[in-house]
Structure 1
Amino acid sequence: MDVLSEIRQSRMSRFQVVAVTIALALILIDGFDVAVMAYAAPVLSREWDIDPVTLGFLLSASLFGMAAGSIFLTPLADRIGRRKLTIISLVIISAGMVLSVTSTGVAQLMAFRVLTGLGVGGMMANLNVLVAEYASDKRRGSIIGIYTAGYPIGATVGGLAAGPLIPQFGWQSVFAIGAALTVLMLVVSWRFLPESLDYLLTRRPARALERINAILTGIGKSPVDSLPPVETAVAEQGAVREVLTRPVRFRTLMLWTGYACLVAAYYFANTWTPKIMATASGDDSLGVTTGVIANAGGIIGCFIFSALAVKLRSQLLLVVTLVGAALAYVVFGLVFSFIGLAMVLALFLGILTTAGIAGFYATSPGVYTARARATGVGWMIGLGRLVSIVAPILVGYLISGGLAPQSIFFLFAVPLAAAALSIVALNASMKRTPSPVVPQPVPAATH
């Protein structure tokens, strides 16, 4: 058995647990840093006399940055390494958060929010890959589920912190807390976050053998005497070429299609359900409560996915989740005027859609080799971020055009069903032609 297979089929070592825990802490901070803008918005809009349209662009600024970071920064991890890109991203986020505290106008703050989002976008998909590579085969789906929950948990913590801080210390206080936490995690990551073993074996950077053996020792495995050979065809194939070459090209298309369809439905529900419920009930506070319930469902959904992934394949769970989400949207559209029942269903909307995102995070790294993994996953998430910007705007136009709210829920059940079909097609493709294994097996040292 080669070393990579032995590591992934063995119980996770303390070294692996530390790496995954750092990644989880980082995603919590990301959730906090992105969400604080929403909590500061009411005070800011009054202090700076910001009109609703401008406020909307200010709230979306970090999403633009996150999309750009996922598309343009994350692929660098396949060239310079997962650890190095994480450090760079943390520096960018720290700068964006510190500068946000000093902002004196809308244009400044918008620019600094784009900068913060750029770092978050570059780091999120990269950390997803790192977690997948350090998790054992048995625990990978479960760990990715917990990892996915980190983002909404961080956003929730941001809300809990903003409540007492902003009235007493001003809107800058939550940005200052986020900046301090980010800088702290920059120091922790610099000291303790390891490089990906898959990356070191594939890309062969300077001192690769020394670094590989240091990681193997930390995991409790025997060091290797030399680096294994890499097939010439594999060595010459770049990340972009792998992602866009058959049969991986078809799998990439299925991932992009499925994830974009899911994210469209997810962001429609997250942004518009509170408003729709408030209008239907005539009670603004009920709309807010519905939004909180849906977000709580998202956290629960990640942990449910994590628990089930111990026994079931992530791909199977993902298909079931997406079909269930499509049905939940249809039922919600049918009963949303029955307020009590609709609020219960809002919990299930959150559970199913966020569990679906966890499923894509767990499934996507296995589609690519280590040489192209960050590029493939980063582009998938980047495309989803672009859709996350467009979907709520599209819904606004549909409602303005007179489309009934329940019909919009029916409408978004269609992309969820399409996402399920995309994963079925992806699984069929991978069964026909399994992905190549890169790097070649690493023989254990003979001592």
Structure 2
Amino acid sequence: MSTPDIDLRRRLDDGPMSRFQWSVIAVCVLLNVLDGFDVLVMAYTSDSVSAEWQLSGSQIGMLLSAGLVGMALGSLFLAPLADRWGRRKTILVGLTLAAVGMALSALSQNALQLGALRVFTGVGIGAILATSNVTAAEYANRRWRGLAVSLNSTGYAVGATLGGVLAAVLLSSFGWRPVFACGAAATALLIPVVLVRLPESMDFLMTQQRSSSALKRLNTTLRSMGQAPLEGMPRPVASETGKKAPSRVARILAPGQLHDTLLTWGGFFAVMFAFYFVTSWTPQLLVESGMSATEGVTGGTLLNLGGIFGSALLGFLAARFRLQRVLAAYLLITAALLVLFVPAVPYFGLLLVLGALIGVFVNGCVAGLYALTPTVYDPSIRGTGVGWAIGIGRIGAIVSPLAAGGLLDLGWGPGGLFLLVSGALVLGTLAVMSLRAARPAPGAGPLAEERPRAGTPD
């Protein structure tokens, strides 16, 4: 039996991954499949919704943005409750909100109702996204943490792809409402899956020093992982004082943490700005560059398909090299590919290759940030730190399409826009490489990165 003062986090980091840990990560991936479907469900159904209610382009634009606004709110204000309620309970609350929002969306009678429900649904999805990524990071060992969180982003791409197939089948025969209804049913079905297969985060339980049930729940999880149970609670991960503890938001902005928090926010804003510019505008900008509408859609589709492979590839690379450097390489490669993209328009074959590669690397940039950010924060504020970082990123996602549209109205061409986004990614690279907490060092935080040595168990 273990003694109360054992460094449990180090034991888990250095040990092999059990089947139970991989099953937890699989549930987190399923949660991100849901995210991919929900983010794009409005894009899939926008033509049918517009035809039914005779909506203008600006009204459709508001509906497309409403879900992102809700996700930003959920990441900023609901996800931080994972540090108080626990990761599992916060995910269940998010699933409930998303299921109800999707079901009511299928019954909405006008654009105002649908817009409000898109915000409501987005709040739940935002909480799920942030908290599931934290949970995956906390259940993975050091070697496979990058892959575990990157697979979540792969789930997003899979959800977006499957959602498009499902929407195409349903829209042709039944209209747009069944698409939302199917999303609601899939979301509701995940609730019992989480109840049965997703335990509470051990890192969260280790912060619950005064909870009589925390040790019992911790030992139940350890036995499921094939690990020896504890006789008593480990020493606190975060030091406690007699003073009144500051709020968790105040702690991520405290002098010792502010540097990395602001850099993380800058990285997320830049990457989300680039990602949503690429996914939202590429088909139309290709058409403006002289391609046919079909060719433009083909180029956009390749971006999503490339994302399925890019996130997984980053995870495998992070198992061999330091994640911070892998992510920086992804950011710089994406920036270079964006510079080359528009000049390649006259060469359709080359353009398709570049489009697929951009999809690989831009999706990997998002996956890398999701994997890197939990290493920046202590377990007691990790949900807050990750939630706020993703929330700031969602602001970049909202600003990106609007900024691109405004610059097009001012006479900017596709080449200038792609060059602008490339510059944003270079700034994101500087932010990532300047992070201090993500660098391996003696005494670093409980999820600190470290390149595995030869012979490290996997």
When the two structures are superposed, what TM-score results if normalisation uses the length of structure 1? 0.94
- Indicate the SS of the match to 1:281: coil
Task: Identify the residue that residue 211 of structure 1 maps to in structure 2.
Answer: 217
Task: For structure 2, list consecutive stretches of 5 or more residues without a partner in the other structure.
Answer: 1-5, 448-458
Given residue 164 of structure 1, which amino acid in structure 2 is its aligned partner? V
Q: Which structure 2 residues correspond to residues 21-420 of structure 1 after superposition, within 5 A?
A: 21-204=26-209, 205-230=211-236, 231-233=239-241, 236=245, 238-420=247-429
d(CA) in 2 for partners of 1:209, 1:256 = 35
Q: CA contact under 8 A between 1:252 and 1:376: conserved in structure 2?
A: yes
User: What is the one-letter code of the residue matched to 2:125?
Assistant: V
CA distance in 1, matches of 2:214, 2:101: 33
Contact 1:238 1:372 in 2 (8 A): no
SS of equivalent to 1:301: helix
Letter in 2 for 1:35: L
C-alpha separation between the residues in 2 aligned to 1:328 and 1:282?
19
Contact residue 45 and residue 51 of structure 1 kept, 8 A? yes
Which SS does the other structure have where 1:194 is aligned?
coil
In structure 1, distance between residues paired with 2:441 and 2:235: 27
C-alpha separation in 2, matches of 1:401 and 1:33? 32
Contact 2:7 2:234 in 1 (8 A): no
Q: Is the 8 A contact 1:238 1:371 kept in 2?
A: no
Consecutive unaligned residues in structure 1, runs of 5 or more: 439-447
Deviation at 1:357, TM superposition (A): 0.8
Once the two structures are overlaid, the 10-residue window that deviates more, 421-430 or 370-379, is: 421-430
RMSD across aligned C-alpha pairs, in angstroms? 1.9
User: Within 2, Cα distance between the matches of 1:436 and 1:304?
Assistant: 26
How far apart are residue 132 of structure 1 and its match?
A: 0.1
> Could you say what secondary structure the match of 1:232 adopts?
coil
Distance 1:194 1:429, change over 3 A: closer
Greater Cα shift, 420-429 or 269-278 = 420-429
User: What is the CA-CA distance between 1:108 and the residue it aligns to?
Assistant: 1.1
Aligned equivalents of 2:120, 2:95: Cα separation in 1:
11
* SS state at 1:203 partner: coil
Deviations 1:23-77 (A, max 9, x none): 1111112211232221111111111111111011111111110010000101000
Compared with structure 1, are the counterparts of its residues 395 and 192 closer, same or farther at alpha carbon in structure 2 (3 Å cutoff)? Answer: same
Which AA in structure 1 matches 2:79? T
For residues 129 and 142 of structure 2, the distance between their equivalents in structure 1, rounded to whole angstroms, comes to 21
Does the 8 Å contact 1:277/1:336 carry over to 2?
yes
Q: Secondary structure at the match of 1:167?
A: helix
Report the 3-state secondary structure (helix = DSSP H, G, I; strand = E; otherwise coil) of the residue aligned with 1:382. helix
Could you tell me how far apart the structure 1 residues matched to 2:289 and 2:240 are? 63
Q: Secondary structure at the match of 2:284?
A: helix
> Matches of 1:228 and 1:119 in 2, distance apart?
33
Question: Which letter does structure 1 place at the counterpart of 2:92?
Answer: I
Cα-to-partner distance string for 1:173-205 (whole Å, 9 max, x where unaligned): 111111111111011112221000000111344
Q: For the structure 1 residues 250 and 234, does the alpha-carbon distance in structure 2 shift closer, same or farther, using more than 3 Å as the test?
A: farther
Preserved CA contact (<8 Å) 1:96 1:116: yes
Aligned residue type for 1:148: S
Report how far residue 279 of structure 1 moved: 1.8
Call closer, same or farther: CA 1:371–1:234 in 2, change over 3 Å: farther
State the shift of 1:336 in Å.
3.4
Note the C-alpha offset of 1:436.
4.4
SS at match of 1:91: helix
What is the SS of the residue equivalent to 2:109? coil
CA contact (8 A) 1:146 1:302 kept: yes
Against the structure 1 CA distance between its residues 272 and 243, is the aligned structure 2 distance closer, same or farther, given a 3 Å change threshold? same
Cα separation, 2, equivalents of 1:429 and 1:124: 21
Q: Is the 8 A contact 1:66 1:117 kept in 2?
A: yes
Are the aligned partners of 1:79 and 1:203 in contact in 2 as well (CA < 8 Å)? Answer: no
TM-score, normalised on structure 2? 0.91
Pick closer, same or farther for the CA change 1:248–1:414 going to 2, 3 Å: same
Deviation track 1:298-327 (CA, whole Å, cap 9, x = no partner) reads 112112112222211211100111111111
Give the CA deviation at 1:277. 0.6
Deviates more, 1:333-342 or 1:145-154: 333-342
123-132 or 296-305, which moves further after superposition?
296-305
- State whether residues 44 and 171 of structure 1, in contact with CA within 8 Å, keep that contact through their aligned partners in structure 2: yes
| CA shift digits 1:94-143 (9 cap, x unpaired) | 10011011111111111111111110001101110000000111111111
Question: Aligned residue pairs: how many?
Answer: 438
Tell me, yes or no, if the aligned pair for 1:368 and 1:435 is still in contact at 8 Å: no
Percent identity of equivalent pairs: 38
Supply the distance in 1 between the matched residues of 2:242 and 2:196 (Cα, whole angstroms).
32
Partner SS state of residue 247, structure 1: helix
What CA deviation, in whole Å up to 9, does each residue of 1:238-282 have, x standing for no partner?
A: 422331123321011111111211111111111111101112224
Contact kept in structure 2, 1:275 and 1:287, CA below 8 Å? yes
Q: Distance in 1 between matches of 2:329 and 2:299?
A: 25
Distance 2:352 2:225 in 1: 47
What amino acid sits opposite 1:317 in the alignment? V
Partner of 2:452: none
Change (3 A) 1:233 1:430: farther
SS at match of 1:90: helix
